Every structure is written in structure tokens, then in C-alpha cells.
Amino acid sequence: MSGPGAATRAAVSASALCAGYLATYFVSTALPTPLFWYAPLGRHVVWSVHPAELACDFYGRVALALAVGAACGALAWALTRGASPARLARALRLLGAWTAALLVFTAALYVYRLAGRRGSPMPLPPDYQAR
Amino acid sequence: MTPPHIFLEGWSRALLLLHALVALALAGAATHLAVVSLRLWRSALQAPARARLARLARIYAQVIGATYAAAFGLGLLMYPHYRYVVRALYLDRYDVWAANLFDIKENLAALGLPLAIAVWAVGRKLDPERDRALAGWLAFLAVSIWLLVGAATISGLLVTDVRGV
């Protein structure tokens, strides 16, 4: 980064990364999306919308959101090549607003879905001792 | 029946302690950057004061980048043990609210990850005179990160009080 335009262009690209990441996180939660799930008991990875065994979607969802976010950031960097400072400032305001809205909606979606979730305990091993 | 072997289960207590220490440093840096970036954005400051605050913002942006990545990475390493031993065997049976609060916290932390990347990428090279137009954008990211880290820290303490490892 050397001039004011370069710094704003980097911020536009970073905002596009944020918006792409958050949009992917929101959509992949709201709609049935196949993801990589890690099954801690079998220690293997499953490609599924929702596997039947105990598994974690967290890794797959974060990896997918990071990949889409990085692609959005790279696209914004390419599209803003040679853009005027005024155009960059407009793009930064727009992407900042999208980032803020997606952040609020995705956080609210998770609070709504998880706050009242019922527990699904697994059978206790014979030697289990609750501390 | 042999108990299942979970990834890094023997390291869960050490990882939890390290995760908490890094999260503490992150919470401090996030608080400082929120205050500094709001002052840079809202205050009518002389050039030397702006330069001093911008130098602090560059430092905290780098600390946030490093500590967010470290805290998040440690959380990912601990998650398989948490998912089976802590949640599936204990919290889902005895304290469902804590299991739900933990998953809300983990996802809020994940939502802050791109914001931390953006702060690190742009904030570490902030120039107070050249980048005046970015002050509002940086303040928005810094305050958002502070809110997410604060919520995650308090939730983490509450859940660990119920069952940590």
C-alpha cells in the first residue's frame, strides 16, 4: 500500500472478504448445505448435509466460508483496479453496510436456533464418572 | 467397552488453559483498539496525537490478528474432545443451557474471524493522515470485534464453570 487509494482498495477487498464469509456462513446455516463434518469418535471426515453419527460441522463451515470470502476479496481487488477514490469510498460504504447487516442477521440466526435447542446426550461408557 | 480415543484428549486441560490465556490477551487488545479507533474517528486531534493513536492502532491490529488466530486455532484443536466428552456425555444430559451457550459462543467467535483478518490486513499499515477516510470503517470493525470477543469470553467463563474438560 502506498497511496490513499491503495489503502482504501485494500479495505474494500477486506470488506468483500468479510461480506462473502458472513453470507456463506448465513446461507449454509439457513439452507441444507452439504459440508465436511468431522466425526470425533470414528476420527474420520464425512461429506454430508447432516450425518447420522456424532459429528462436528464447525470445521467444514468455517473452511467453506473462508474459501468463499477469500474469493470475494480477490474478486473485489481485481475489480477495483484503477478505480477512482470516490468510487472506492462508495464501495467501502456499501460493503461495510453489507458486512454489518450480515453480521447482525447471522449472529441473530445462531442465537435463535441454538438458544432453545434440546440436548441429545450419548450413552455413558461403563467406567464414566461425572466430575 | 473400551472408551473411544478422541483427538488430543490427553491435552485438553493444557489446551483449555492456553486458550483462556490467549483469549484474555485478545480481549485486552480488542478493548484497546476499540477505544483508540473510536478516538481516531470521532475526535478532532492534532497531528502528533493522531500519529500516536495510529501507532497504537497498528500495534493492536497486529496483536488482534495474532491472538485471534491463536485463540481460534486452539479452540478448533479442543473441539473434538469438547463435542464428545464435555457436551455429548455431560452438558447435553445435565446442563443443556451451557451446551447451547457454548455453541452460540463458538459461532459468534467464527463470525468475528473475517473481521479480525480485515483489521490485521489494513490496520497494521494504518497511516493517520493518508487513511483518514478509513477511520470510521476501522472503528466499526474494532467495536464489532470487541463485542464478539466480550460475549465469547463471558460465555466461555460461564460454560467452563459448569464443565471445562
Q: Does B135 touch chain A (CB under 8 A)?
A: no
Q: Across chain A, what does the average pLDDT equal?
A: 94
Cell of B136: 470510521
Q: Please report, for residues A82, A83, A100, B16, B153, the alpha-carbon distance to residue A86 in angstroms, rounded to integers and kept in the order given.
A: 12, 8, 21, 47, 39
A-chain residues near B110 (CB < 8 A): 25, 58, 61-62, 65
Give me the DSSP letters along chain B. -PPPPPTTGGGHHHHHHHHHHHHHHHHHHHHHHHHHHHHHHH----HHHHHHHHHHHHHHHHHHHHHHHHHHHHHHHHHHHIIIIIIIIIIHHH-HHHHHHHHHHHHHHHHHHHHHHHIIIIITT--TTTTGGGHHHHHHHHHHHHHHHHHHHHHHHHHHHH---
Instruction: pLDDT band for A129, please (50, 70, 90 cuts).
Output: confident
Q: Please report, for residues B45, B46, B100, B101, B129, the alpha-carbon distance to residue B123 in angstroms, rounded to integers and kept in the order given.
A: 19, 20, 34, 31, 14
Q: Which of B83, B121, B140 sits opposite A100 (nearest CB)?
A: B140
Compute the average pLDDT of residues B21-33.
98
Cα A90 from Cα A59, distance rounded (Å) = 34
Residue B117 and residue A59: Cβ atoms within 8 Å? no
Residue A43 and residue B117: Cβ atoms within 8 Å? no
Is A94's pLDDT higher than 50? yes
Residue B127 and residue A25: Cβ atoms within 8 Å? no
Q: Does B107 touch chain A (CB under 8 A)?
A: yes
Return the number of CB contacts < 8 Å for A and B. Answer: 133
Element (H, E) at A37: strand A35-39
| Pair A43, A56: CB distance under 8 Å | no
Cα A53 from Cα A8, distance rounded (Å) = 47
Instruction: pLDDT band for B1, please (50, 70, 90 cuts).
Output: very low
Predicted complex ipTM:
0.94
Of B131 and A10, which is predicted with more confidence?
A10
Q: Model confidence over A47-68: pLDDT tens digits?
A: 999 999 999 999 999 999 999 9
How many angstroms separate the CA of residue A111 from the nearest CA in chain B?
Answer: 6
| Pair B67, B22: CB distance under 8 Å | yes
CA B150 to chain centre: 8
Cα A68 from Cα A54, distance rounded (Å) = 27
How many angstroms separate the CA of residue A33 from the nearest CA in chain B?
Answer: 17
With a pLDDT cut of 70, the percent of chain A lying above it is 95
Instruction: pLDDT band for A3, please (50, 70, 90 cuts).
Output: low
Q: Which of B92, B110, B118 sits opposite A25 (nearest CB)?
A: B110
| Pair B165, B16: CB distance under 8 Å | yes
Domain-by-domain residue ranges, chain A? 4-33+59-114
How many angstroms separate the CA of residue A85 from the nearest CA in chain B?
Answer: 10
Instruction: pLDDT band for B28, please (50, 70, 90 cuts).
Output: very high
Cα A77 from Cα A79, distance rounded (Å) = 6
Residue A114 and residue B100: Cβ atoms within 8 Å? yes
Q: Model confidence over B54-81: pLDDT tens digits?
A: 999 999 999 999 999 999 999 999 999 9
Q: Model confidence over B88-146: pLDDT tens digits?
A: 999 999 999 999 999 999 999 999 999 999 999 999 989 878 888 899 999 999 999 99
Element (H, E) at A48: strand A44-48
Say what angle helices A85-115 and B96-118 make with each other, to 10 degrees.
Answer: 170
Give the residue from B56, B23, B19, B49 showing the smallest Cα distance to B138.
B56
Compute the average pLDDT of residues A74-82.
97
Is A38's pLDDT higher than 70? yes
Q: Model confidence over B145-165: pLDDT tens digits?
A: 999 999 999 999 999 999 999
Task: Output the pTM of the full model.
Answer: 0.94
